Chains A and B, each alone.
Chain A
């Protein structure tokens, strides 16, 4: 059975790119969220194997979402995706429970490779 993925990004363009890459690689995209509130609701409801999480959303930061998911007992693996890749920010994401941190722009191959590594 293919692994389930929730995509969290405020940009429909980025969600579409990520969805296309992951669907093409055999993953099952079970939901998409464009803000933090939707992301938390869908993560709790769907309990996906993996969440791709944009760090900057209109209503909250990905860091805050990581904390809420931990408090709610959501055990999905999380890959943070952000245009800002400073080392302190990457370390912060990883220390809050993210499995990987991908800096935009990235290729489809990069993304699929990281996702495979995280949920294999």
Chain B
């Protein structure tokens, strides 16, 4: 089910970016403790977060490095937006990034909700820009609201665009109970 959800997300990302995307790696973990969600390098990381609302609690995070964000803007937005720092262009760039997450997370939400028979939605995505060294602590702090969590992570790869964004989901363990209830 997770693979199906991520495959849908991959397809959505391909359609938005108009470029082939592959799933390079999938990690799944339901062990307690501190997880190493992110293994990227240095510099700033753009984290776009979508929180679930409805019958299941969870949060998705799509992570792009600063360099990847620059590549995406150049590849997908018109020059008059990419190279302009006016308020409207900045909002357009922000809107582009959050819309990628909205669609990619939405694909997973659709797959899971159809499979599990639950009604879940993603809230309006939000963007945080933080230092790479602080990403794991940031993601760990996101799961403290849940009694126990499972998480999975996919690393996408876009060869043409030269990007490898991480896609990290943290779910309340009720998610697993729902699956077990179906088996």
Contacts and interface: CB of A to CB of B under 8 A. Distances in A.
B124 A14 contact: no
Contacts of A119: none
Contacts of A87: 114
Interface string A20-53: 0000000000000000000000000000000000
B91 A12 contact: yes
B99 interface: yes
Given A56-B121, A105-B16, A12 B110 contact: no
Interface size classification for chain A: 20 to 34
A88 B118 CA distance: 9
A25 to B, nearest CB: 19
B119 A89 contact: yes
Given A12-B88, A12-B91, A103-B110, A83 B96 contact: no
A14 B99 contact: yes
A16 B92 contact: yes
Contact of B124 (A16, A58, A89, A105): A58
B106 A11 contact: no
Contacts of B164: none
A87 B12 CA distance: 18
Given A85-B106, A88-B119, A11 B98 contact: yes
Contacts of B113: 84, 86, 88-89
B124 A86 contact: no
